[in-house]
Amino acid sequence: MAFKRDIVLILILAVIVLFQIQTCESDINIADFPHGFTFGTASSAFQYEGAVKADGRGPSVWDTFSHKFGKISDFSNADVAVDQYHRFEEDIELMKDLGVSAYRFSISWTRIFPNGSGEINLAGVDHYNKLIDALLAKGIEPYVTIYHWDLPQALDDKYDGWLGTEIIKDFANYAETCFQKFGDRVKHWITFNEPHTFATQGYDVGLQAPGRCSILLHLFCRKGNSATEPYLVGHNVLLSHAAVADIYRKKYKKIQGGSLGIAFDVMWYEPATNTQNDNDAAQRAQDFQLGWFLDPLMFGDYPSSMRSRVGKRLPKFSEAEAALVKGSLDFVGINHYTTYYARNNDTNVIGTLLNDSIADSGVITLPFKGRKAIGDRANSIWLYIVPQGMRSLMNYIKRKYGNPPVVITENGMDDPNSIFIPIKDALKDEKRIAYLKGYLSELLASIKDGCNVKGYFHWSLLDNWEWAAGYSCRFGMYFVDYNDNLKRYPKQSVQWFKNFLKSTK
């Protein structure tokens, strides 16, 4: 009798364990997300399209920068990238098979205006019309980024691009042309991708186009001023967005029914210690990252910590400009990948040496506490996997900014690209699957907290050319064989994401 009872108990335990395993394997379910929640993948023109001289396209600052010796880690360029310009129909079939409902891509400014302004290049317009129509034919909603870093070289030559106030008029003209040509079908617009990144990386440390800085007495960059130029760029970006939003709301929104946002790059920052100094440092780190751009858009001015620490080097909004900037967002785009520790910079030795916008915050941000990393590292040296940062960030935005509509416009991780990794092994991206599970679970938890999140875009559909890292890393769910006609192969994460998008309770 006791033996039979033991057998029954063993069977019950086995069922419980099996149930737990199944629950663990399907611990995140699309049915748990709000009705109408958008799932998609993201890309950018310069990283995907290639065909840099096709059909009248003009050069951008990234064309120039990537062809300079030593600027790209693997000495590559994006002349071909993954050739989506010619293969977009093939890639849309991949999206359809994956099951996503939206695709975020950017328009190349120099395909529409080869010189940044002047005569419209109709061949470029025709290409994006074909791309948009092909997406809609497959039931995939276009989310269009108007500017994803590829500033026309002609405007950089003419008035130093984002440093000149002339850019506001030229960008507004370009954006309005996009509304005129594509706005009857495009309902989701992102004016800028990561203004904080291109302001600091392009005009402070010089690691990205156009490569301006004054660090170490111009030994690294031939021109620039790291103490002032990032703030001028950021200011002109905000005024440009506001001008475009004003045009859209007055002339196109009522007819076209679309919305405008910006995609911000946002790390989450955890205080390195529970001291007041480090708690304040974590807040300043956020002020000098997200707050730099979102505070003016929500409140009409820069964060007080920036005003006090940057002083006269930080431009001021006139009353009319502040009124135009404030409230000019319909949704907040968030590009979130990782979380760092923030520690108060007590000595400010770095600030004295660099005299730049990064040092102005008075914060040291690192992914380590002592020798212990904040999480498992992906391939990129900066990308550590810390899923709970997603929930913390969403709740921060809810609290500070009044719970605006949020779209996760980028989230993902990379694997290494190595000639020593066979394709069959490169397709086994278990770490990416774990990353997706972790970050989507924390995103769902934030929604249950009451955060107003409307969509999620994974970076990226395909392996691609990754700016200064070139082809050295792979962010895609589809493997691109750079040695065999850019053939696309699904990684294991494709099947996981397909199953997730088809899942039901």
Q: Which residue(s) pair with 462 in the sheet?
A: 478
The pair of three-digit structure tokens given for residue 491, joined into one six-digit string: 């990684």
In a domain, 117, yes or no: yes
Q: Which residue(s) pair with 32 in the sheet?
A: none
CATH number at residue 177: 3.20.20.80
Residue 384 three-state SS: strand
The answer, yes or no, to whether residue 4 has pLDDT greater than 80, is no
Give the count of beta carbons closer than 10 Å to the beta carbon of residue 154. Answer: 20
User: Please, which pLDDT band fits residue 216 given cuts at 50, 70 and 90?
Assistant: confident
Domain range holding 437? 29-502
Across 341-361, average pLDDT: 78
In a domain, 291, yes or no: yes
Beta pairing, strands 473-474 & 415-416? antiparallel
CA dihedral sign of residues 245, 250, 251, 255:
positive
**Domain count of the fold of the chain:** 1
In a domain, 392, yes or no: yes
Distance CA 228, CA 22 (A): 55
Give the count of beta carbons closer than 10 Å to the beta carbon of residue 276. Answer: 10
The answer, yes or no, to whether residue 354 has pLDDT greater than 90, is no
pLDDT at 314: 98
In a domain, 1, yes or no: no
Give the count of beta carbons closer than 10 Å to the beta carbon of residue 80. Answer: 16
C-alpha distances in angstroms, 156 versus 11, 56, 234? Answer: 72, 19, 16
The pair of three-digit structure tokens given for residue 257, joined into one six-digit string: 């029914």
In a domain, 476, yes or no: yes
Going by C-alpha positions, the residue among 351, 374, 372, 378 that lies closest to residue 363 is 351
pLDDT at 347: 77
pLDDT at 492: 98
The pair of three-digit structure tokens given for residue 498, joined into one six-digit string: 């397909």
AA letter at 488: R
In a domain, 14, yes or no: no
Among 344-358, 387-401, 403-417, the minimum mean pLDDT is found in 344-358
C-alpha distances in angstroms, 147 versus 69, 108, 171, 388, 396? Answer: 26, 7, 9, 30, 27
In a domain, 8, yes or no: no
pLDDT at 15: 39
pLDDT at 217: 58
User: Please, which pLDDT band fits residue 348 given cuts at 50, 70 and 90?
Assistant: low
The answer, yes or no, to whether residue 432 has pLDDT greater than 90, is yes
DSSP state of 266: -
Distance CA 65, CA 44 (A): 17
Beta pairing, strands 473-474 & 478-481? unpaired
Task: Point out the residues that are catalytic.
Answer: 194, 410
Across 73-85, average pLDDT: 98
In a domain, 434, yes or no: yes
pLDDT at 27: 74
